[in-house]
Chain A
Amino acid sequence: MAAASSLHVAAPVATPRVGSSAGNRSASAARGVRVAAAGSGAARAGGRLVARAAVAAKENSPASAASKSDGHEVLLFEALREALIEEMKVDPTVCVFGEDVGHYGGSYKVTKGLAEMFGDLRVLDTPIAENSFTGMGVGAAMKGLRPVIEGMNMGFLLLAYNQISNNCGMLHYTSGGQFKIPVVIRGPGGVGRQLGAEHSQRLESYFQSIPGLQMVACSTPYNAKGLMKAAIRSENPVVLFEHVLLYNLKEKIPDEEYVLCLEEAEMVRPGEHVTILTYSRMRYHVMQAAKTLVNKGYDPEVIDIRSLKPFDLHTIGNSIKKTHRVLIVEECMRTGGIGASLRSAIIDNFWDYLDAPIMCLSSQDVPTPYAATLEDATVVQPAQIVAAVEQICR
Chain B
Amino acid sequence: MAAAALLRRIPAARAPPTALMAARTISDSTAPLTIETSVPFTSHIVDPPSRDVTTTPAELLTFFRDMSLMRRMEIAADSLYKAKLIRGFCHLYDGQEAVAVGMEAAITRSDSIITAYRDHCIYLARGGDLVSAFAELMGRQAGCSRGKGGSMHFYKKDANFYGGHGIVGAQVPLGCGLAFAQKYRKEETATFALYGDGAANQGQLFEALNISALWKLPSILVCENNHYGMGTAEWRAAKSPAYYKRGDYVPGLKVDGMDVLAVKQACKFAKEHAVANGPIVLEMDTYRYHGHSMSDPGSTYRTRDEISGVRQERDPIERVRKLILAHDLATPAELKDTEKEIRKEVDDAIAKAKVSVAFSVLFLVSL
Contact = CB atoms under 8 A, between A and B. Distances in A.
Interface of A: 95, 121, 124, 126-127, 129, 131-145, 162-163, 166-167, 171, 173-179
Nearest to A211: B365
Contacts of B367: 176-177
A132 B211 contact: yes
Interface string B18-57: 0000000000000000000000000000000000000000
Contacts of A162: 167, 170
Given A139-B175, A139-B180, A132 B207 contact: yes
Give 4 closest A-B pairs by Cβ, nearest first: A139-B177, A135-B173, A132-B207, A176-B146
B263 interface: no
A140 B177 contact: yes
Interface in B195-243: 203-204, 207-208, 210-211, 214-215
A171 to B, nearest CB: 8
A162 B168 CA distance: 11
Given A175-B157, A177-B146, A132 B184 contact: no
B145 interface: yes
Contact of A143 (B153, B165, B173, B177): B177
A127 B209 CA distance: 11
B163 A121 contact: no
B112 interface: yes
B211 A135 contact: no
Contacts of B116: none
Contacts of B172: 132, 135
B314 interface: no
A178 B145 CA distance: 8
Which of B153, B180, B183 has the largest count of A CB atoms less than 10 A from its CB? B180
Contacts of A129: 204, 207-208, 210-211
A137 B177 contact: yes
Nearest to B186: A121
10 contacts: A95-B184, A121-B183, A124-B215, A132-B211, A135-B204, A136-B180, A145-B184, A174-B148, A176-B147, A178-B155
Contact of A179 (B155, B175, B182, B183): B155
Contacts of A135: 170, 172-174, 176-177, 204, 208
B207 A131 contact: yes
B157 A133 contact: no
Given A140-B181, A142-B178, A176-B148, A131 B203 contact: yes
Interface in B123-160: 143-149, 153, 155-157
A144 B181 contact: yes
Nearest to B162: A142
A71 to B, nearest CB: 35
B173 A175 contact: no
Nearest to A93: B184
A139 B162 contact: yes
Nearest to A132: B207
Given A121-B183, A166-B166, 17 more contacts: A129-B211, A131-B173, A131-B203, A132-B204, A132-B207, A135-B173, A136-B208, A136-B211, A137-B177, A139-B178, A139-B180, A142-B174, A171-B163, A173-B148, A176-B147, A177-B146, A179-B155
